[in-house]
Structure 1
Amino acid sequence: MGVPDLIIDPALKYWVLVPISIALLVFALLRHTIAILTSPSPKLQPLAKFRELEGLKSAQVFKRNYWVLPKHDFINRQSLHVKRLTDGSLLAEDPNNEPQNPLDSNGMDGMMDMAKGQFGNMIAQTAMMSWVNFFFMGFVLMKLPFPLTLRFKQMLQNGVATDDLDVRWVSSISWYFIASMGLVSVMNVLFNDESMGEQLQQQMMLQGGQPPPMMLGAPKQDKVMLAEANDIRIISYESVLDGVEQRVVELYS
């Protein structure tokens, strides 16, 4: 005997679905504003480090866009980048020096700021989840228009203890988690500012216990520059300007 399909009250859209979505958006805006107001003032970067980063970035831009240059410009820029990346003139620190201790004062200050941000995000997220659980627990909001396997049942029907319910139905708590994961793209679209979405994504990574990229082990800059120099050295020149006159004549003849 088949299980009869559910009939959803249209009022749930206005009293559950829309309030959760709006509350998540307002919550993301408040969290972003509080993070800006409480973030420490950025420290000035040393000139040598800035020159190192910009030199490496210039080499990477050349490697991606060399095909728009004439051949003589390509050869000159190729030799210049290879020379600057291999002779050590761009390095901000001597590669033979001992690596900086991550537990020094500067590193500890950064770790403390990160821990404070993670603690604040955890408290705010707990408060938001408690609000959703208290007011909207047990509601079924929508039905997805495409079939899914039973593996998605626990993810889409959290808070609804019904074994024989079609897996395509989405509960209110599950909608909260799905909308939370999609906030990054929504912030980028609504405000046309990728930095807001990136910052929100970093906050979500901290909240999930994942270390940010800057805390992960990274190769030394001299090794990175040597790798970039090797990539630039083996580039085979092929320009989009080759034979452009003949192509234009053939196009408009």
Structure 2
Amino acid sequence: MAELFLDPSIRSWVFLPLVIITFLFGVLRHYITIIFASEKKGELENIGDSHALIRSRLLRENGRYLPAKAFKMRKYFFNDKEHGFFKTQKRESTMTNPMADPSMATEMLRSNALNMVPMIVIGSWINWAFSGFLTTKVPFPLTYRFKPMLQRGCESLTSLDASWVSSASWYFLNIFGLRSMYGLVLGSDNAADHPMILPDNQIPTPQAPQDMQKAFKAEWEALEVVDHQWALADCEARLLSRAY
């Protein structure tokens, strides 16, 4: 088969516009998501409890670098049977099913609508406006199994090399290929580079709130059995022995 050459106008009126449209669509979707996203505020008590658990865990892991008196003072603050934090603080269990929360269901429906509806609309428009164009060619040979993926809208060209990419396929490749650009422009935590189509088994589910009373009990037990051994005992002698 003779080598196929593309008109240079395709680069200016199809190839680059698809890249720009896809990128601007991702930026617009990012800011729309920010506008319509409901602000989730954590309660002050829950934040304090989480920080207390973190402090206790750090004490268990790194307490050997504290002198015995300092370690016992911190352990007393958390684990004393009469005045310890984990013994005196009582929390009611708030273990509820997040899927039963109407506000959570509304938030998920809104998020899916913001993801899918604009994508369907712009995808349909691109398929109508740029249908039937070949935009580029991958720089390595491919088997014919890749034709349905890379040549959407040009299925009638059965003898065409599988390395050619149609306009519709180029649009979908840009959706996932521009994620690094979104990270540079919008930051790492942005709504534009999140995958808009997820398999059923990968749809994120809201996490249930943590039962703080059980967490306090587990952390109290873990800290109670810690055997403090000061890691810096005789550190001067050990340092001098290494030097000489």
TM-score normalized by structure 2?
0.68
Change (3 A) 1:99 1:184: same
Change (3 A) 1:123 1:51: same
- Whether contact under 8 Å (2:134, 2:167) holds in the other structure is yes
Instruction: Say whether residues 1:99 and 2:95 are aligned partners.
Output: yes
- Residue of structure 2 aligned with 1:50, choices 39, 47, 52: 47
In structure 2, the gaps of 5 or more residues are: 80-84
Change (3 A) 1:57 1:90: farther
SS in structure 2 at match of 1:185: helix
Instruction: Say whether residues 1:148 and 2:142 are aligned partners.
Output: yes
- Whether contact under 8 Å (2:131, 2:167) holds in the other structure is yes
Letter in 2 for 1:185: S
- Residue of structure 1 aligned with 2:131, choices 137, 141, 147: 137
- Whether contact under 8 Å (2:150, 2:169) holds in the other structure is yes
- Residue of structure 2 aligned with 1:25, choices 20, 23, 26: 23
- Using the TM superposition, name which of 19-28 and 180-189 deviates more: 180-189
The residue number in structure 2 matching 1:126 is 120
Identity %: 27
Q: What is the aligned-residue RMSD (CA, Å)?
A: 4.5
SS in structure 2 at match of 1:214: coil
Write the distance in 1 (CA, Å) between the matches of 2:184 and 2:209. Answer: 32
- Whether contact under 8 Å (2:26, 2:193) holds in the other structure is no
TM-score normalized by structure 1?
0.66
Letter in 1 for 2:35: L
Change (3 A) 1:38 1:52: same
Letter in 2 for 1:126: I
The residue number in structure 2 matching 1:214 is 206
Letter in 2 for 1:7: F
Change (3 A) 1:47 1:168: same
SS in structure 1 at match of 2:135: strand
Write the distance in 1 (CA, Å) between the matches of 2:148 and 2:15. Answer: 19
In structure 1, the gaps of 5 or more residues are: none
